[in-house]
Structure 1
Amino acid sequence: MDVRSSGRPGRRGAGPAAITATLAAAALALTGCAAPSTLSASDDRVQVVTTTGLLADLVRNVGGDRVNVSSLVPDQADPHSYEPSLRDIRNVVYADVAFSNYLLLEQQAIIKALDANLPDEVPNISLAEGAVKYAAEIIPLVENVALDTIWLGMRVRGTGEQYGASRASDVYVSGTGVDGPGDLVAYLTESFGNPEFYVNSTDGFDASDGYRDDTATLPPDAHTHMSWAFTEPGIYRLTMRAALAPEPDARTVDLGKQTFTFAVGVDPHSVPGMEGAEVLNGGHADVTVDIDTGELYLLVDPHGGDGHAHAEVFDPATTVIEVPNKALHEIPADEGFRFLGRPGDPIFQLPQAVLGRHVHGEIDPHLWQDVGNAISYVELMRDTLIQVDPDGAREYRDNATRYIGELERLDADVRGTIATIPESRRHLVTTHDAFGYLGAAYDVQISGFVTPNPATEPSLADRRKLAETIRNLRIPAVFLEPNLVTRSSTLTEVAEDLGVAVCEIYGDTFDDEVTSYVEMMRFNAESLRSCLSEPVERIG
């Protein structure tokens, strides 16, 4: 059976076997969602198929009256899990051009239906990948969200020539006291998993021990990675001192002391006495001893480089190191971690950095949450339609220019609306990890989500971590995507338990209330503003 047997002359349909197989699979997956518009071989307009309604809206703004557009995923359906129907397959077969987001956004069955049934000569555009050539900015998905925090180590900077130092010299960096609600342990995991402690407040600080306990010993111009663990949320102030032994058994030279402030699981912008301080929450940083100047400070490379070629010096007196709620874990059952507490207890931990940026080989596919990326999509759509329909080039260019102007105004409005939210309340907790671009573009902290993917069932540990995040940050509202209401019981139950509001935010799809991309972005910005601007009164 060849569905395209009545197609336009000169255009070749997909093979009958491929179409029949796909139709058979689709027949088992018919849904109750509203049917999309229909493409037709007898329609003189350019027939466009998209995977989602959001992409269809962008195409309609560029194509105008010259295009007939149908999306495979209906409004209110989830592109992560939707299975294509018989009507969807038919629309693919009659398309003159196809636009998908890809980067694993859509359910694989959708991509298979598109690729198996689209005629060979028809442009099949993966927008998220293609838009990079139009200046779209992409965000890597980290393999472990806890790694997407600041990497904090210790470093010795300088030569110490004025003290007679050489490569055989020792520099001591010692913890002398911790003021905070729990214990702090800074340690290095060795090759076989054994911890080497640098700072450990669980057994106190004994000044009589000199430079043995709670001390990292480093040669000049060296650094070490380490993990930093905190047993309770709150503000920690760690006092450290440094000394130099120019030669073995020589008298040490005192290089002074400094206090470093950590905001663990709480708002880093509201540390008492440090309002307006610089907040470090990413990149590679080191507690640094400068043996040329005799100072202790933070040396920070915001891009995560290991050589600090572009590093900046930060004064610990005016800097807060953030340990976010994404760094909250449960202590594993392995006996090697008993120094942190009992198995299953929650603990905050900045991870021991690895050389290079440790990311999974995937990209966050939700690019459109940054309006600038949506503009790149529009430019790629414009050029693709001109390629398919050169006679409409002027109309496509004019439509795109008009729409890009509207999107540029939208971008400014979204930025302005979100900027009215006090920075300390600009925390987004939602159903799944779909708003990284919104956070990066408009300065919103993505402080938590139920699961990385809406198709994943949350565990009890996920639920506990979510509740701890909301409680620690005193978040007044969490945000729920309307199309995921039936799969968001964890989020709503936690919100009800803690007495916080549940507000709406749109991620992948439209509904009867929000019917266009521009409406969606304006709605999201206003929802964030209205739900987060007021401080929370009670969290149980």
Structure 2
Amino acid sequence: MPHVSRRLSGLVVAALALSAGCAAPEVLSASDDRVQVVTTTGLLADLVRNVGGDRVNVGSLVPDQADPHAYEPSLRDIRNVVYADVAFSNYLLLEQQAIIKALGANLDPGVPNISLAEGAVKYAAEIIPLVENVALDTVWLGMRVRGTGEQYGANRASDVYLSGTAVDGPGELVAYLTESFGNPEFYVDSTDGFDASDGYRDDTATLPPDAHTHMSWAFTEPGVYRLTMRAALAVSPDERPVDLGEQTFTFAVGVDPHSVPGMDGADVLGAGHADVTVDIDTGELYLLVDPHGGDGHAHAEVVDPATTVIEVPNKALHEIPADEGFRFLGRPGDPIFQLPQAVLGRHVHGEIDPHLWQEVGNAISYVELMRDTLIGVDPDGAREYRDNATRYIGELERLDAYVRDTIAAIPESRRHLVTTHDAFGYLGAAYDVRISGFVSPNPATEPSLADRRRLAETIRNLDIPAVFLEPNLVTRSSTLTEVADELGVAVCEIYGDTFDDEVTSYVEMMRFNAESLRTCLSEPAESDR
């Protein structure tokens, strides 16, 4: 595999030329009998042309190869807005705010101004929350008691003990809860060993029946950890606790959760709300999992720890803060993996991820919304718009199958996408690709030294053979290419939200991305050869 894609060597020159002046968009005109359509991006313009056919004239505000996150509209762009009969934007903060303002201020009253990402939800589009702190987008792992323990005479005053008795792994494991004023309360701490002679005091969470607690889980080194936990029920202070059972829980920390020794075919738990749970009616210890992150576990499922790996991904890698309250984790600045302590309710989310089209099914929803909007503007063309949309949706359904089958050919343990910025969540969710890392959440954000270290750790720990670069962001991707060069991995291309001279349509873009992933990820990393 070449270290750098054959086209990337020339992309810097092309991008610099682009910054001096992008190609002008198509011109809308009041004298043109066709429906005048303005879109914010070339990708949306391509979808509209497939639906509108000869009845529409389409102009895009953001030129190909330009970044919609940063592009400022020109006077020519404003002119196109003035002449538009309908406008399509993606919105959800994809486009530079100046573009959205230009549409709102210059469209004639009554001209449909359609936000596709929002409107497509009515056409069954799936949306993904964009997490403000990516470290929170992991599994939330707490501890829980289920059942009443009536057969033992338990009541509300009884105590249930969940104790850590052993940890096997490359580093230390600490499970703790941060109290209201920031002081840690320790539940499991392998740094001082495990002493069974002290009963149910050290390394123990004490809970009443039918209760649960949130906590943070910290790991000092990447690798596989196996934590053994024991449960007991103390019906009253005067009685000896009743031993209920013991179970081992497996964590994949910063490494591929599908390649844990002795766990072939295991399920991977990487999201939602889960609890290490003891059932005081049956004596079993298991994982109680709500994949939707709910706190009440109304839709929770019982999961067998013997066939489940709890994932602690590389995005959970942090530096220990300087605050003295965290000295128990190590020295300030040292790296540490941490599953965060959950709060009541859902994760702390920012906007909805705006890159819906990376799942072809969402692009179909865009097409259906475009079809109905054009029919509303031009009822005489209703039949043509419906026919065009039906034909194109059939093509997109075939594209969806092609992308799915192509990516499925990549070994599951190698389906890790590391790229320029966080724009491929929909592709990952729809086609079973793990978004294992990116330089920064937003392409306009300068990566920090911590971002760079986290990126390098991700690539190294997961033995990733290639990282992916969006051609239009090449001049702002030095961190990605430098880290790839240092680690000896390939740099391959992937398209996010814009076209160029090589990829000129949505169908071409999605086919290219699927083929690039298959080609670059199916081979081992150079360091493995």
Change (3 A) 1:329 1:28: closer
Contact 1:433-1:449 within 8 A present in 2 as well: yes
Q: Which secondary structure state, in structure 2, belongs to the residue aligned with residue 176 of structure 1?
A: strand
| TM alignment of 1:412-451, pairs within 5 A | 412-451=401-440
Size of the alignment, in residue pairs?
520
Kindly provide the CA deviation profile for residues 3-28 of structure 1, in whole angstroms up to 9, marking residues without a partner as x: xxxxxxxxxxxxxxxxxx99999999
Q: How far apart are the structure 2 equivalents of 1:503 and 1:462?
A: 20
- For residues 396-445 of structure 1, what are the alpha-carbon distances to aligned partners after superposition, in whole Å with 9 as ceiling and x for unaligned? 11000000000011011101111111111111000000001101111111
Question: Which is further off, 244-253 or 336-345?
Answer: 244-253
- 3-state SS in 2 of match to 1:361: strand
Q: Which residue of 1 aligns with 2:460?
A: 471
Shift of 1:375: 0.4
**Pair 510,29 (structure 1): closer, same or farther in 2 beyond 3 Å:** closer
- TM normalised by structure 1 equals 0.94
Equivalent position to 2:214, from 209, 219, 225: 225
1: distance between equivalents of 2:152 and 2:412?
Answer: 45
Aligned alpha-carbon RMSD (Å): 3.7
Task: Summarize deviations over 1:120-162 as a string: whole Å, max 9, x none.
Answer: 1211111111111111111111121111111101111111111
Runs (5+) with no aligned partner, structure 2: 1-8
Q: Is the 8 A contact 1:26 1:83 kept in 2?
A: no
* Other-structure match for 2:6: none
Q: Greater shift after overlay, 157-166 or 75-84?
A: 157-166
- In structure 2, relative to structure 1, the CA distance for the partners of 1:183 and 1:352 (3 Å cut) is same
Residue identity (%): 91
Say which of 73, 85, 90 aligns to 1:96: 85
Q: Which has the higher contact order (CA 8 A, sep 6+)?
A: 2
Q: Deviations over 1:449-497 (max 9, x none)?
A: 1001100000000000000011111111000000000000000000000
Q: Which residue of 2 aligns with 1:216?
A: 205
Give the Cα–Cα distance (whole angstroms) in 1 for the partners of residues 380 and 13 of structure 2: 38
Per mean C-alpha deviation after superposition, the further-off stretch among 189-198 and 382-391 is 382-391
Label 1:93 to 1:334 Cα distance change in 2 as closer, same or farther (>3 A): same
| 1:310-344 alpha-carbon deviations (Å, 9 max, x no partner) | 21111111111000111111111111011101111
CA separation of 1:24/1:110 partners in 2, compared to 1, >3 Å: closer, same or farther? Answer: farther
- Structure 2 SS opposite 1:244: strand
Whole-angstrom distance in 2 between the partners of 1:106 and 1:479: 22
1:539, CA displacement in angstroms? 6.9
TM-superposed deviation, 1:537: 3.5
Give yes or no for contact 1:186–1:227 (8 Å, CA) kept in 2: yes
Contact 1:428 1:444 in 2 (8 A): yes
CA drift of 1:254 comes to: 1.0
Once residues 448 and 23 of structure 1 are traced to their aligned partners in structure 2, the CA distance between those partners, rounded to angstroms, is 23
1:61 to 50, 65, 73: 50
In structure 2, the CA distance between the partners of 1:525 and 1:25, relative to structure 1 (3 Å rule), is closer
**Structure 1 residue 30: deviation in Å?**
11
Partners of 2:329 and 2:375 in 1: CA distance: 62
Q: Determine helix, strand or coil for the equivalent of 1:40.
A: coil
Any conservation in 1 of the 2:78–2:102 contact (CA below 8 Å)? Answer: yes
Question: How has the CA–CA distance of structure 1 residues 176 and 315 changed in structure 2, closer, same or farther, with 3 Å as cutoff?
Answer: same
| Secondary structure at the counterpart of residue 18 of structure 2 | coil
Change (3 A) 1:26 1:177: closer
Q: CA deviation at 1:29?
A: 15
SS in 1 for 2:263: coil
Whether the aligned pair in 1 keeps the contact of 2:12 and 2:475 (CA below 8 Å) is no
Give the Cα–Cα distance (whole angstroms) in 1 for the partners of residues 191 and 456 of structure 2: 26
List structure 1 runs of 4+ shifted beyond 4 angstroms: 21-31
Change (3 A) 1:115 1:65: same
Shift of 1:385: 0.7
Are 2:11 and 2:471, in contact at CA under 8 Å, matched by a contact in 1? no
Q: Residue 358 of structure 1: CA displacement?
A: 2.0
Please identify, of 476-485 and 140-149, the stretch whose mean Cα deviation from structure 2 is larger.
Answer: 140-149
Q: In the aligned structure 1, how far is the partner of 2:395 from the partner of 2:226?
A: 48
Residue aligned with 1:30, SS: helix
Contact 2:364 2:396 in 1 (8 A): yes
What is the match of residue 29 of structure 1?
Answer: 17
Contact 1:265 1:469 in 2 (8 A): yes
2: CA distance between counterparts of 1:112 and 1:434? 23
Following superposition, the deviation at residue 226 of structure 1 comes to 0.4
Distance 1:181 1:63 in 2: 60
Change (3 A) 1:179 1:123: same
Contact 1:283/1:304 (<8 A) preserved: yes
Q: Deviations over 1:345-377 (max 9, x none)?
A: 111000111111023241110000010110010
Separation in 1 of the partners of 2:301 and 2:41?
44
Question: Does the Cα contact within 8 Å between 1:49 and 1:98 map onto a contact in 2?
Answer: yes
| d(CA) in 1 for partners of 2:337, 2:154 | 38
Do the aligned partners of 2:15 and 2:475 also contact (CA within 8 Å) in 1?
Answer: no
**Distance change (3 Å), C-alpha of 1:24 and 1:222:** closer
State TM-score, norm by structure 2. 0.95
Segment of structure 1 superposing worse, 357-366 or 328-337: 357-366
Contact in 1 for aligned 2:15/2:474 (Cα 8 Å):
no
